[in-house]
Amino acid sequence: MTIPGFIIRNACRNKRRLILTILSVSISLFLLTVLLTALKLMTEPPTTDQAALRIVTRHRVSLANVLPEKYQYRIERMPGVQYCSKFTWFGGIYKDEGSSNFAQFAVDADRIFRIFPEAVVDPRQEEVFVKEKSACIVGGKLAQRFGWKIGDKINFLGALWPCDLELVIRGTYRGEGIDETMVFFHHEYFDELMNKRGLVGTFWIKVENADAIPGLIERIDAAFRNTDAETKTETERAFQLGFISMMGNVKLFIGSICTVIVFTMLLVTASTMAMAIRERMREISVLKAIGFTSVSIFSLILAES
């Protein structure tokens, strides 16, 4: 018998234990991979050439505070601004809370797909969407999830805002590098339901070129300094990272779980090998008797593990 054959024979001595050990280690590795991938996506959100041309203006205090609608007109007149759209999170409930884990945004219908050109929508659908106040456009994955079709009516119960939405689906969008699980509807319609209070969550801005971004950010925040609603303007990437940081120290939390998983894998493997060694004490004694050194025997056990 060869040395590799001897190692394989011992590893497969107890098939039930072998299968259970492999399964436990495989599941641990799967969880470890998923968690590390999720951590990378959260701390390093993917970016595109179009995303590099977008900036976001929000309330300086927090995302929970709102901005006056009139800020949009001043922002649009600043040099370097190509498009500017209101962007307000509705956070409504569709059917029940378990089915409402997707975003609904009130936007400027005629500008939103200029700011997000990676979201591809049929021009005829977009035209109908712009003209009809109660219309909405949904992500392709979201429409597939709920089986929505063009012309379907969907209702959202207001949870954050004191109003309910009654929308008609007039189109779907798809695209690389953009979340396909969102609903876009008219900010004008939202404002009417809110009795024209003129409240906006954020403004999303597309600039003419990336070189203009630093200066534009400074001009926007300076324009609204010392007002009742001061602003904080940042790049899309910085905004996403700031949004993630609101959930707490996710990196430390996931890192701690990964450490526990690695420790558990080592513990399972060590325990399995300890049982295997105890069962073969006579065999190990024979190996030592015929000339195998302690280092050689340890190497065989290590190879088996």
**Model pLDDT, residue 90:** 93
How high does pLDDT run on average in the chain?
85
Mind listing the pLDDT tens digit for each residue in 237-259? 888 776 665 555 667 777 788 88
Range name among 120-124, 140-144, 181-185, 245-249 with the lowest pLDDT average: 245-249
Query: Which bin fits 93, alpha (ψ -120 to 50), beta or left (φ > 0)?
Result: beta
User: What average pLDDT does range 138-153 have in this prediction?
Assistant: 94
What is d(CA 236, CA 214) in angstroms, rounded to the nearest whole number?
Answer: 13
Mind listing the pLDDT tens digit for each residue in 215-236? 999 999 999 999 999 999 998 8
**Model pLDDT, residue 274:** 76
What is d(CA 108, CA 137) in angstroms, rounded to the nearest whole number?
Answer: 12
User: What average pLDDT does range 132-138 have in this prediction?
Assistant: 95
User: What average pLDDT does range 32-46 have in this prediction?
Assistant: 72
Mind listing the pLDDT tens digit for each residue in 1-18? 677 766 676 666 677 777
> Does residue 193 register a pLDDT over 80?
yes
**Terminal CA-to-CA distance of the chain, rounded, Å?**
19
Whether pTM > 0.85 for this model: the answer is no
175 pLDDT band, cuts 50/70/90, is confident
Residue with tokens 């977008």: 54
26 pLDDT band, cuts 50/70/90, is confident
**Model pLDDT, residue 47:** 62
Range name among 10-24, 33-47, 190-204, 229-243 with the lowest pLDDT average: 33-47
**Model pLDDT, residue 111:** 93
Q: Percent of the chain beyond pLDDT 90? A: 48
In Å, how far are 48, 61, 82 from 175, measured between CA atoms?
A: 12, 33, 21
* Dihedral angle computed from the Cα positions of residues 101, 52, 220 and 110, in that order, rounded to the nearest 10 degrees: -60
Bridge partners (DSSP) listed for residue 206: 54, 83
User: What average pLDDT does range 265-283 have in this prediction?
Assistant: 76
Query: Which bin fits 147, alpha (ψ -120 to 50), beta or left (φ > 0)?
Result: left
**Model pLDDT, residue 6:** 64
> Does residue 97 register a pLDDT over 70?
yes
Nearest to 71 by CA among 62, 246, 81: 81
Query: 57-71, 88-102, 288-302 — which one is most confidently predicted on average?
Result: 57-71
Q: How is the chain split into domains, by residue range?
A: 3-43+250-304, 51-245
What is d(CA 5, CA 1) in angstroms, rounded to the nearest whole number?
Answer: 6
